[in-house]
Homo-oligomer: A and B are copies of this chain.
Amino acid sequence: MASCTIHTAPYSCSISRPAAKAFSLGFHQRHQQLIFFSSGRRSAVVCSAEKTVVIGLAADSGCGKSTFMRRLTSVFGGAAEPPRGGNPDSNTLISDTTTVICLDDYHSLDRTGRKEKGVTALDPRANDFDLMYEQVKAIKDGVAVEKPIYNHVTGLLDPPELIKPPKILVIEGLHPMYDSRVRDLLDFSIYLDISNEVKFAWKIQRDMAERGHSLESIKASIEARKPDFDAYIDPQKQYADAVIEVLPTQLIPDDDEGKVLRVRLIMKEGVKRFAPIYLFDEGSTISWIPCGRKLTCSYPGIKFFYGPETYFSNEVSVVEMDGKFDRLDELIYVESHLSNLSTKFYGEVTQQMLKHSDFPGSNNGTGLFQTIVGLKIRDLYEQIVAERAAASAAAAKV
C-alpha cells in the first residue's frame, strides 16, 4: 500500500492504495470528504476536514464488548445499528459518530480452515494483520475500505462490506493491540480483563443454565482456549491505556456465584488527552465505604479503592469498585465523589447508567467504568477536534 498525507488546512488529504477492491466516489456531505477513485492504480485521494479517531477494544469472546460498545455509542447520543441494506450477519455497528468493526472480520482462516490447520481463532496465524493494518490506516486517513465479513453463523468469510471513515472508529475483538503497526494507529486503547473465576461463573450461567451444556464441557472448553489466550490475547493488556479488570467480590467470603463483582479501572498515567479519574485526593491511596450514616446500602454493601500502582512497569492509577448498586441514590452519591469524570453536567454518569439499566453490569463496576471510559473517549475526541480547529485557525492566519 502506498500512502502519503498532505495537510492543507482545513482539509487533510491523503492518497492511498488499500487492498480493498472498491471505493466510494464523490463528495461525502457529512464527513466533508472529497473522494476520487482511480481504477488503474486502485488508489484513492481523499480530502477530509477530520481524520478518524481510532479506538481499540480488546477482550475475549463473550466478555461484554458489545454492551460496552452500546454504552460508548450512547454517550455520543446515537443508537448503533448494522449497516443498512447490507449483509444481515455483518458484525459492524454504525451510529452518527462511531463505527464499530469486529476484528473477527480479519480472520484469514474460516472455521473449516482453522480446524484443518489445528489453530484457534485466537492464534495470529488465523488472522490477517497486514489487511487489518492497511484498512485501519486507510480509514484513519479518511479513506473508505471494503472490509471482509466473517460470518459467525456459518463460520465462513462473506463478501466484503463498505466501511466509510467515521468520526470515531472502534476496532473491537481479540487482537486490536497485537500487531504493533495496528497498535500505533490507536488514539486510545482499552482491554477488558475478565478473571478466570468470573469467566467461569459467567459461562456456567450462560452455557449451562441457558444452553444445557455440562459443567465438564464448559471447563474443557475454557481449558482448551487457555494456552492461546495466555499467549496471544492476555499480553495485549500491557499496551492498553485503560484496563477494566473484573474479579470476584471480596465483600462475600469465598463467593463463587459471580453475581457481585470487584471491578478495577486501571488507567495509564501520562497518556495524552486522558486524565485518569480519581477519588477525593489525586495521587493518594484511599479506600472508601460510602455506605454509612448518610447512605445506607443492602448487604454486602459497596467498597471503593483508589490509588497509584504499577502495571507492567507503567505508572497507573486504579479506581476499584466492589459490590453493587441497589438504588439510584447510591449511584449518584458515588458519582458525586469521583473527579475528572469528563461529564458535561452533574449526574451524567448516573443518567447514562439509568438509561441502559437493562444492560448487563448496570448495577456494578463494569457498567460504571464502561460508561466512564465512554465519557473519556468523548472527551479525547473533542480535544482532538478542538486541536485541529485551533491548528486550522492558526494556519489560516499565516
Residues of B within 8 A of A291 (CB): 284
Any chain B CB within 8 A of the CB of A285?
Answer: yes
Q: What distance in Å separates the Cβ of A318 from its nearest Cβ neighbour in chain B?
A: 12
Identical subunits present: 2
The docked-state distance in angstroms from the alpha carbon of A288 to that of B287 is: 7
Q: Which residue of B lies closest to A282 (CB)?
A: B294
Asked if B295 and A283 sit within 8 Å, CB to CB, the answer is: yes
Asked if A289 and B294 sit within 8 Å, CB to CB, the answer is: no
Any chain B CB within 8 A of the CB of A281?
Answer: yes
Asked if A307 and B289 sit within 8 Å, CB to CB, the answer is: yes
The docked-state distance in angstroms from the alpha carbon of A18 to that of B280 is: 55
Asked if B288 and A289 sit within 8 Å, CB to CB, the answer is: no
Any chain B CB within 8 A of the CB of A292?
Answer: yes
Any chain B CB within 8 A of the CB of A286?
Answer: yes
Interface string of A295-311 (1 = CB under 8 A from B): 10000000000011000
Any chain B CB within 8 A of the CB of A258?
Answer: no
Residues of B within 8 A of A293 (CB): 282-284, 308
Residues of B within 8 A of A289 (CB): 284-286, 307
Any chain B CB within 8 A of the CB of A117?
Answer: no
Asked if A285 and B288 sit within 8 Å, CB to CB, the answer is: yes
Any chain B CB within 8 A of the CB of A337?
Answer: yes
Q: Which residue of B lies closest to A287 (CB)?
A: B287
Q: What distance in Å separates the Cβ of A331 from its nearest Cβ neighbour in chain B?
A: 15
Any chain B CB within 8 A of the CB of A290?
Answer: yes
Residues of B within 8 A of A292 (CB): 283-285, 307-308
The docked-state distance in angstroms from the alpha carbon of A77 to that of B60 is: 66
The docked-state distance in angstroms from the alpha carbon of A294 to that of B289 is: 23
The docked-state distance in angstroms from the alpha carbon of A289 to that of B308 is: 11
Asked if B294 and A284 sit within 8 Å, CB to CB, the answer is: yes
Q: Which residue of B lies closest to A303 (CB)?
A: B285
Among B286, B295, B337, which residue has its beta carbon within 8 angstroms of that of A288?
Answer: B286
Residues of B within 8 A of A295 (CB): 283-284
Asked if A288 and B281 sit within 8 Å, CB to CB, the answer is: yes
Residues of B within 8 A of A281 (CB): 280, 288, 290, 294, 337
Q: Which residue of B lies closest to A317 (CB)?
A: B293
Residues of B within 8 A of A284 (CB): 288-295
Residues of B within 8 A of A290 (CB): 281, 284
Asked if B283 and A294 sit within 8 Å, CB to CB, the answer is: yes
Among B286, B308, B337, which residue has its beta carbon within 8 angstroms of that of A287?
Answer: B286
The docked-state distance in angstroms from the alpha carbon of A308 to that of B296 is: 13
Residues of B within 8 A of A288 (CB): 280-281, 284-286
A-B contact pairs, 21 of them (CB 8 A): A280-B281, A280-B286, A280-B337, A281-B290, A281-B337, A282-B293, A282-B294, A283-B292, A283-B293, A283-B295, A284-B288, A284-B289, A284-B290, A284-B295, A286-B287, A286-B288, A287-B287, A289-B307, A292-B307, A292-B308, A293-B308
By Cβ-Cβ distance, the 10 closest A-B pairs, closest first, are A283-B293, A285-B289, A283-B294, A284-B292, A280-B280, A283-B292, A287-B287, A284-B290, A286-B288, A292-B308
* Besides A283-B294, A283-B295, 20 new A-B residue pairs in contact (Cβ under 8 A), listed by A number: A280-B280, A280-B281, A280-B337, A281-B288, A281-B294, A284-B288, A284-B290, A284-B291, A284-B293, A284-B295, A285-B288, A285-B289, A286-B287, A286-B288, A286-B289, A287-B287, A289-B307, A292-B307, A292-B308, A293-B308
